[in-house]
Amino acid sequence: MPLWVANIKPTQTSTHRSRKQRDHVMTSSDTINSPSTALSQDESAGAASAAQTGSGGISGLISQLTEGNPYFSAGFGLMGVGVGLTVLRRSATLFTTLAQRRLLVSLEIPIRDHSHAWFLEWMAHQAKSRPIPGSGIRIHSHQLAVETSKTTHSNGASDVTFSLVPAPGTHWFRYKGAWIQVKRERQEKLLDLNSGSPWETVTLTTLARDRALFSSLLAEARDLALQGNEGRTVVYIARGIEWTQFGRPRRKRELGSVILADGVADNIVRDIKSFMNRGKWYTERGIPYRRGYLLHGPPGSGKSSFIQALAGSLGYNICVLNISERGLTDDRLNYLLAHVPERSFVLLEDIDAAFNKRVQTSDDGYQSGVTFSGLLNALDGVASGEERIVFMTTNHLSRLDPALVRPGRVDLIQLLDDAQPDQAAQLFVRFYGRGRSEHDDATIEIDGRIYIGDLSEQVKEITTSQINQGKRASMAALQGHFILHGAQSAVDTLTSCFKLPKN
């Protein structure tokens, strides 16, 4: 290489360095003169650089994972689909809930409510009957359950009926132009303490604009149930803390079918009707509006039968309560007597068997859960109910404590004794004086000479003779005797019904 060329290069380098030094001096001078400006520029540059680096790093990382890992891409896509479906599902649930609140109305009927049985009976009635044109009622149900009921008549014959009711599940029916959904749900793990059956609810759902149809439907179901009870007496028993209908309603018994001694039935009927018509009188004088009756006498004298016939003649039902029932306590007894169904008698049968003295001990063989003081307070205590009629029966009046039969708890005590001559004759005429007997022709005449009147006189004479001998026969024994025999045979063997009383 030539020498002159080598000598020139260092000169250019030094010149270039000189310029850089001047530029550096100038830059330093500017920095000294404006420190804040320089610092701001450095931070902005650093932030921009960091943002560019971070953005590029995340996007690069995602790009690297998705491009280099197909499993990650598929999983990321599925996750997105799952999130989307979850959002859609929750949105649909929220929308459905809002729509139901705005557009639909529901009515829940628990098994404990009387309307539960009424509604199921109404559904069964509509399902088995043909649709009536113009009624607007049409049942659409393919899941049915059977309910069997047995009715025993006074002659011993039994009738068994089957009712098909909606089974647990969802059903639809059209009522007066509106569709109503019926959802019957049963909780097998929960029991109704009153009935012992699984807890159950029926829920009706329809459009909010048709809400008034619920009242109309329940009223129709109630009327149908009450219509089936017309001419019948409903018997209730205590289950838990509520009164529950026991079996099918009984056919009302005529008051004249229970033959008592002269004046006895009239005396009780007159007293109870007077009490029913004097509610305002009791209220104005601050007297508790309740009445107690005690019927006493030997077994088979017609105490319970008369109460049933009396309830039927007055249009009342009967609530039967067993004081000796296991599990019955003072609180439960007080609650039951304070919540008696409307137009119902309370019947406490054989009250002497539950309390023959103030204190019962385990030596009696069984200790009742109801105390004697608890019974007294339930009958006329401060918390006892009003508008109540209580009937008590006993075979042994002398065994009852005077505190139980005092006025206020028992207002009328009536003896129903064994058969008297007039009672026996009236019962004979009632059995054989209407139409012909199934056994022979003695109901009208025998051999064209003996008439029913003559036979009834013979019954009266035989009864008088047996009573004079110290023998007794209950009305139940005479009734059973007349059922088994024809008129003449019944008279001929009538003395077999009379026995000497046991000491």
Alpha helices in 150-211 (DSSP H): none
Domain end residue (candidates: 415, 442, 457):
415
Beta-carbon contacts of 54 under 8 Å, excluding residues fewer than 6 positions away, are none
Dig out the tokens for 283 from the structure: 């209220």
- Dihedral sign of CA atoms 275, 279, 281, 286 in order: positive
Q: Angle, to 10 degrees, between the axis of helix 212-229 and the axis of helix 114-128? A: 80
Beta-sheet pairing, 242-245 with 198-207: unpaired
Residue position matching structure tokens 């075979």: 395
Q: Which domain holds residue 212?
A: 105-230
Contact 346, 319 (CB under 8 A): yes
Is the domain of 168 the same as that of 255? no
pLDDT at residue number 31: 41
Domain end residue (candidates: 370, 391, 415):
415
Nearest 5 degrees, angle CA 190-CA 191-CA 194? 150
Is the domain of 331 the same as that of 216? no
Dig out the tokens for 428 from the structure: 């004979």
- Dihedral sign of CA atoms 17, 19, 20, 26 in order: positive
Beta-carbon contacts of 232 under 8 Å, excluding residues fewer than 6 positions away, are 249, 250, 251, 252
Contact 499, 471 (CB under 8 A): yes
Contact 430, 257 (CB under 8 A): yes
Residues of the chain with pLDDT under 50: 1-55, 358-359, 361-362, 364, 366, 435-449
Compute the distance between CA of residue 205 and CA of residue 182 in angstroms, rounded to an integer. 7
Is the domain of 132 the same as that of 165? yes
Number of H helices, E strands in the chain: 15, 18
Beta-carbon contacts of 346 under 8 Å, excluding residues fewer than 6 positions away, are 319, 321, 337, 340, 388, 389, 390, 391
Domain end residue (candidates: 230, 264, 291):
230
Compute the distance between CA of residue 186 and CA of residue 400 in angstroms, rounded to an integer. 47
Q: Is residue 294 part of a domain?
A: yes
For 3-59, what is each residue's pLDDT tens digit? 333 343 444 444 444 444 444 434 444 443 444 444 344 444 444 444 444 445 666
Is the domain of 257 the same as that of 364? yes
Is the domain of 192 the same as that of 293? no
pLDDT at residue number 111: 84
pTM exceeds 0.85 for this model: no
**Other beta carbons less than 10 A from residue 305's beta carbon:** 19
Contact 400, 352 (CB under 8 A): yes
What phi and psi values does residue 424 have, to the nearest 5 degrees? -60, -40
CA 62 to chain centre: 65
Beta-carbon contacts of 10 under 8 Å, excluding residues fewer than 6 positions away, are none
pLDDT at residue number 261: 92
Is the domain of 205 the same as that of 286? no
Residue 193's SS3 state is coil
Is the domain of 400 the same as that of 285? yes
Dig out the tokens for 102 from the structure: 């705005």
pLDDT at residue number 173: 86
Which run of H or of E encompasses 40?
helix 35-68
Q: Is residue 297 part of a domain?
A: yes
Is the domain of 352 the same as that of 297? yes
Residue 187's SS3 state is strand
CA neighbor of 167 nearest in space, from 148, 142, 191, 192: 142
Compute the distance between CA of residue 419 and CA of residue 416 in angstroms, rounded to an integer. 9
Is the domain of 341 the same as that of 295? yes
Compute the distance between CA of residue 326 and CA of residue 305 in angstroms, rounded to an integer. 26
Which residue pairs, CB below 8 angstroms and at least 24 apart, start in 12-21?
none
Q: What is the DSSP string of 89-147?
A: HHHHHHHHHHHHHHHEEEEEEETTSHHHHHHHHHHHHHHHSPPPTTS-EEEE---EEEE
Q: Is residue 69 part of a domain?
A: no
Compute the distance between CA of residue 230 and CA of residue 90 in angstroms, rounded to an integer. 53
CA 473 to chain centre: 44
Is the domain of 365 the same as that of 302? yes
Contact 171, 141 (CB under 8 A): yes
**Other beta carbons less than 10 A from residue 276's beta carbon:** 14
Q: Which residues are bridge partners to 152 per DSSP?
A: 158
Q: Is residue 238 part of a domain?
A: no
Total of domains in the chain:
3
Is the domain of 428 the same as that of 401? no
Contact 442, 455 (CB under 8 A): yes
For 243-264, what is each residue's pLDDT tens digit? 888 877 888 888 988 999 999 9
Beta-carbon contacts of 336 under 8 Å, excluding residues fewer than 6 positions away, are 238, 241, 243, 319, 321
Q: Is residue 20 part of a domain?
A: no
Q: Is residue 145 part of a domain?
A: yes
Is the domain of 410 the same as that of 311? yes
Nearest 5 degrees, angle CA 470-CA 472-CA 477? 160
Contact 198, 192 (CB under 8 A): yes
pLDDT at residue number 129: 61
For 296-350, what is each residue's pLDDT tens digit? 999 999 999 999 999 999 999 999 999 888 888 889 999 999 889 888 999 999 9
Return the CATH number at 278.
3.40.50.300
Q: Is residue 84 part of a domain?
A: no
Q: Is residue 25 part of a domain?
A: no
Compute the distance between CA of residue 352 and CA of residue 296 in angstroms, rounded to an integer. 10
